[in-house]
């Protein structure tokens, strides 16, 4: 699960993670639940239908499939799967009952979205192998993700027996599995970092597995600490050098000195940004979670840029010891898979 405050680039990070996990012949499913078609835009393809469709080939021949989960279609699937109400479900749709369940009752909608994703996690092919090596969900924003993922616990408590209760429990077994993780995307800015800190606390309080913090759009430090500290002392030297180079339009150097001031102001602003980012990094480090930084791509994130970010993620993953959430041990309860590394 990949979450983050709006504007942090969580969809981009989810897509890069899916490409990174679909390595060396592996197959990854990238799931979208907010109906924004952000995945289609990133991969420069047409809008995703309610079906799993291959959208990319990763390094080493792995494949990325994508699914935009539609709550109404998921409810029809649910009614058919557990109650054999295929025809009746379509009749309910005609009279507006499906729309009521998926829009007026948001808790039901979240149950359907998480349930559909978890069904993909547990699905096997005819040979008994799991269809996907990993499932990555572009989840709702940080402020809503704990409620979104924990709604099945509430449903299981309300429906004590029957298929609804059993389905809700099965979903929570996947979501709380050691093979599952919720990764949080942030920027090195005060509000996104604070929302990340709050989100980690909420997830931990709900017993949901927290993965890594991804610092997105990280910008490099142009000047080192010594250069920033001594910038004011360089004012005469810079003015003299500019004048000698013929910059500023005045032999006396007055014009050159006027050019120096804006540069020193930018250096000061850069120094302040570096200082504030160091404070944000300390706040993130205090969470005690693995941290990954993805660089700002100055030309924007097109398809080539997405592969570039995926390569960065892949390098970081290979440089770590194998994390618990991508363990190859899929089995409990007689071999039923609890989750897929995401």
pLDDT tens sequence across 149-182: 998 777 656 556 666 677 788 889 999 999 999 9
Of residues 221 and 12, the one with the higher pLDDT is 12
Distance of alpha carbon 263 from alpha carbon 269, whole angstroms: 10
Which has the minimum average pLDDT: 64-73, 112-121, 256-265, 314-323? 314-323
The strand ranges marked E within 158-264 are: 182-186, 210-218
Structure pTM? 0.82
DSSP state of 102: I
Distance of alpha carbon 189 from alpha carbon 211, whole angstroms: 20
Average pLDDT over residues 110-125: 90
Judged against a pLDDT cut of 80, whether residue 218 lies above it is answered with yes
pLDDT-based confidence at 327, cuts 50/70/90? Answer: very low
Which has the minimum average pLDDT: 64-73, 83-92, 100-109? 83-92
Which residues have C-beta within 8 Å of that of residue 216, sequence separation ≥ 6?
4, 8, 9, 12, 13, 185, 186, 187, 294
Can you give the pLDDT at residue 87? 53
Residue showing tokens 């390094």: 59
Contact indicator for 135, 141 with CB cutoff of 8 Å: no
Structure tokens at 276: 């504030």
Can you give the pLDDT at residue 339? 41
SS3 state at 300: coil
The strand ranges marked E within the chain are: 2-4, 27-32, 53-57, 63-68, 134-138, 182-186, 210-218, 291-295, 331-332, 336-337
Chain centroid to CA 164: how far?
A: 29
The two most distant CA atoms of the chain are separated, in Å, by 89
DSSP element (H, E) containing 79: helix 71-83
Distance of alpha carbon 303 from alpha carbon 73, whole angstroms: 29
């Amino acid at each position: 699960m990949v979450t983050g405050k709006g504007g942090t680039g969580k969809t981009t990070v989810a897509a890069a993670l899916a490409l990174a996990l679909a390595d060396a012949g592996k197959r990854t499913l990238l799931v979208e639940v907010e109906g924004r078609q952000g995945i289609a835009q990133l991969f420069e393809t047409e809008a995703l239908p309610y079906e799993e469709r291959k959208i990319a080939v990763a390094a080493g021949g792995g494949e990325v499939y994508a699914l935009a989960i539609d709550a109404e279609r998921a409810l029809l699937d649910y009614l058919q799967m557990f109650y054999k109400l295929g025809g009746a479900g379509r009749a309910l749709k005609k009279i507006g009952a499906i729309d009521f369940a998926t829009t007026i009752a948001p808790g039901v909608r979240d149950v359907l979205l998480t349930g559909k994703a978890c069904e993909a996690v547990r699905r096997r092919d005819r040979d008994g192998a799991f269809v996907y090596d990993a499932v990555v969900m572009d989840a709702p924003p940080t402020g809503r993700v704990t409620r979104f993922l924990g709604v099945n616990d509430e449903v299981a408590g309300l429906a004590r027996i029957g298929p609804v209760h059993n389905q809700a429990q099965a979903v929570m077994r996947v979501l709380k599995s050691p093979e599952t993780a919720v990764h949080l995307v942030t920027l090195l800015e005060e509000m996104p970092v604070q929302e990340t800190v709050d989100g980690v606390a909420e997830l931990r309080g709900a017993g949901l597995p927290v993965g890594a913090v991804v610092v997105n759009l990280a910008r490099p430090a142009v000047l080192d600490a010594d250069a920033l500290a001594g910038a004011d002392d360089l004012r005469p030297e810079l003015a003299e050098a500019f004048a000698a180079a013929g910059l500023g339009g005045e032999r006396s150097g007055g014009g050159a000195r006027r050019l120096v001031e804006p540069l020193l102001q930018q250096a000061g602003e850069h120094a302040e940004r570096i200082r504030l980012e160091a404070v944000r990094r300390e706040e993130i480090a205090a969470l005690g979670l693995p941290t990954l930084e993805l660089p700002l791509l100055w030309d924007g994130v097109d398809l080539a840029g997405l592969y570039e970010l995926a390569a960065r993620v892949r390098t970081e993953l290979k440089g770590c010891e194998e994390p618990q959430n991508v363990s190859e041990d899929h089995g409990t309860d007689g071999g039923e898979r609890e989750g897929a590394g995401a």
